[in-house]
Structure 1
Amino acid sequence: MPFSTTGQRGSARLVLLCGLPGSGKTTLARRLAAELPAVRLCPDEWLAALGTDLFDEAARDLLERRLWRHAEELLDLGVSVILEFGFWGRAERDEKRLAARALGVPVELRYLDVRLEELCRRVEERTAAGGWGAAPITRAMMAGYAALFEAPAEDELSLFDASDRNGGR
């Protein structure tokens, strides 16, 4: 829901980063945040900073809902936002796309398509280095995540605004 109608939404955009753990969402988000510029909202970083279990689904859901409200406020003020929620399902991507369009801002979807073996390698490397509070994600967990993940098809990708930048879509 918009918080005012006086924002400078014409200059704002919403960027959704879609991909599994280890796909490079945070790396891309950091680069885009500097290039656009934009505010980057990453639930994993917030949960880790708050000392909350990264696998606590109730806490993650609550945090993501709050970060979305914050994103709406920023977009309404004309500030671009990058959401690093992963967006594993089409329904959640559709929800954010439609809500941002209702605010009058363009919406990009950056899909980071990485093979499962490479995802596992990256996550193992990140865990060994103590990243994200060293939240261990096993190969079995990654396989389960991959089975749940709904990759965006070309018909869905065409619903989003095109980007003139590299990375993702």
Structure 2
Amino acid sequence: MNGGRPGRLILLCGLPGAGKTTLAKRLADQIPAIRLCPDEWLTRLGIDLHEAEPRDRLEGLFRQQSEDLVRLGVSVILEFGFWARAERDEMRLRARALGAAVELHYLAVHTDGLWRRLEARNKQRVPGVAVISRNMIEQWAEAFDAPHPGEFALFDNPCGRRGALGDVPL
């Protein structure tokens, strides 16, 4: 237990290729924190990363698990992407109900930059990393609801670390 205090919940917001996992790994070492990354778990379970139903179920379990861990004083990083404002609000309010601090890190990368990163990643054919097409990233970018500056005021500042906007150099 963290002196009887709840842990901290950290939400990583951004599209595929923005650097969420890179940042999560760095933060997990710094804080320390538990990382919950759906892509890694789905891969280990042999499930296609593009299948929505298993991903939704796994993310639901991670939401419950993160609440339990935060309640016990553990800091947790969720790498879901949090594309919708409603998702970010829900997790912030759930963590606040536990008395926990909540951070939002938004990794803002323009579609062209995402595509360059994803194209390079696609060529590497790394096991457990989904191949993503330019068309997919463009469609997802249109569906993505990026946080607005006023939304950041609803979250806590990073604990002794750099700010939330675009905070991962890659």
Query: Alpha carbons of 1:113 and 1:132: their partners in 2 closer, same or farther (altered >3 Å)?
Result: farther
Show the counterpart of 1:130.
125
User: Shift in Å at residue 144 of structure 1?
Assistant: 0.2
Contact 1:90 1:150 in 2 (8 A): yes
Contact 1:111 1:168 in 2 (8 A): yes
Q: Does 1:57 align with 2:52?
A: yes
Show the counterpart of 2:109.
114
Show the counterpart of 2:89.
94
Q: Does 1:166 align with 2:159?
A: no
Q: Give the unaligned 5+ runs of structure 2.
A: 166-170
Contact 1:8 1:77 in 2 (8 A): no
Q: Does 1:67 align with 2:62?
A: yes
Q: Give the unaligned 5+ runs of structure 1.
A: 1-5
Q: Deviations over 1:71-122 (max 9, x none)?
A: 1111111000000000000000000000000011000000000111110111
State the TM-score, normalizing by the size of structure 2: 0.91
Q: Which moved more, 1:123-132 or 1:31-40?
A: 123-132
> 3-state SS of the aligned residue for 2:162?
coil
- AA at the equivalent of 1:15: I
Please list every run of at least 4 consecutive aligned residues from structure 1 whose deviation after the TM superposition is greater than 2 angstroms. Answer: 6-11, 130-134, 166-169
Number of positions where the alignment pairs a residue of Structure 1 with one of Structure 2: 164
Q: Deviations over 1:51-81 (max 9, x none)?
A: 1010110000000000111111111110000
Show the counterpart of 2:168.
none
Q: Does 1:13 align with 2:8?
A: yes
Contact 2:157 2:164 in 1 (8 A): no
Show the counterpart of 1:148.
143
Contact 1:54 1:60 in 2 (8 A): yes
User: Shift in Å at residue 7 of structure 1?
Assistant: 7.3
User: Shift in Å at residue 31 of structure 1?
Assistant: 0.2
Alpha-carbon RMSD: 1.6
Query: Alpha carbons of 1:29 and 1:134: their partners in 2 closer, same or farther (altered >3 Å)?
Result: closer
State the TM-score, normalizing by the size of structure 1: 0.92
Query: Alpha carbons of 1:99 and 1:82: their partners in 2 closer, same or farther (altered >3 Å)?
Result: same
Query: Alpha carbons of 1:71 and 1:132: their partners in 2 closer, same or farther (altered >3 Å)?
Result: farther
Contact 1:45 1:132 in 2 (8 A): no
